[in-house]
Amino acid sequence: MNLRLSRRVQRVSLSANAAAKSRATELREAGRDILDLTTGEPDFDTPEHIKQAAYAAIAAGATKYTPTPGVKALRLAVQRKLQRENRLDYPLAGIVIANGAKQIIFNAFAATLDDGDEVLVPTPYWPSFPDSVRFNGGEPVFIECELDQGCKLSAEQLQQHIGERTRWLILNGPGNPSGAVYSVAELQAIAAVLRRHPQVLILLDELYEHIRFDGQPAHSLLNVAPDLQARCLLVGGVSKTYAMTGWRIGFGAGPQVLTAAMAVVQSQSTSGASSVVQAAALAAFDGGLDFLPEQLAAYHRRRDLLVNALRDIDGLEVLEPQGGFFVFVRCAGLLGRYRPDGVRLNNDADVVAYLLDEGVAAVAGSAYGLSPWFRLSIATATGSVAEAGRRIAHACRQLRGAA
Residue ranges in contact with ligand PLP by CB under 6 A: 40, 100-102, 126, 172, 176, 205, 207, 237, 239, 245, 250
Shortest reach from residue 238's CB to ligand PLP, in Å: 7
Shortest reach from residue 109's CB to ligand PLP, in Å: 13
**CB–CB of 10/336 below 8 Å?**
no
Q: What is the DSSP string of 25-54?
A: HHHHHTT---EE------SSPPPHHHHHHH
Shortest reach from residue 104's CB to ligand PLP, in Å: 8
Nearer to ligand PLP, 173 or 389 (CB): 173
The H-or-E segment that residue 120 falls in is strand 118-123
Shortest reach from residue 239's CB to ligand PLP, in Å: 4
Which of these, 102, 121, 137, 364, lies nearest to 249 by C-alpha position? 102
The H-or-E segment that residue 20 falls in is helix 16-29
Nearer to ligand PLP, 243 or 349 (CB): 243
Nearer to ligand PLP, 250 or 372 (CB): 250
Shortest reach from residue 341's CB to ligand PLP, in Å: 34
For Cα atoms 304, 308, 309, give the angle at the middle one, nearest 5 degrees.
120
What radius of gyration do the chain's Cα atoms show? 21
Shortest reach from residue 40's CB to ligand PLP, in Å: 5
Question: In the chain, what's the furthest Cα-to-Cα distance?
Answer: 69
Shortest reach from residue 26's CB to ligand PLP, in Å: 22
Nearer to ligand PLP, 109 or 354 (CB): 109
Shortest reach from residue 265's CB to ligand PLP, in Å: 16
Alpha-carbon dihedral angle through residues 58, 64, 67, 72, given to the nearest 10 degrees: -30
Nearer to ligand PLP, 101 or 316 (CB): 101
Phi–psi pair at 35, nearest 5 degrees = -90, 120
d(CA 287, CA 250): 17
Query: Quick one: angle between helices 348-357 and 382-398, nearest 10?
Result: 110
d(CA 153, CA 370): 13
Residue 280 CA to its chain's centroid (Å): 22
Nearer to ligand PLP, 190 or 204 (CB): 204
Shortest reach from residue 247's CB to ligand PLP, in Å: 9
Exposed / middle / buried, residue 288 (Cβ in 10 Å: 0-12, 13-18, 19+): exposed
Nearer to ligand PLP, 101 or 298 (CB): 101
d(CA 122, CA 114): 21
Shortest reach from residue 228's CB to ligand PLP, in Å: 20
Nearer to ligand PLP, 70 or 237 (CB): 237
CA end-to-end distance (rounded Å), the chain? 50
d(CA 198, CA 377): 37
Residue nearest to ligand PLP (CB): 100
Nearer to ligand PLP, 126 or 182 (CB): 126
Nearer to ligand PLP, 66 or 172 (CB): 172
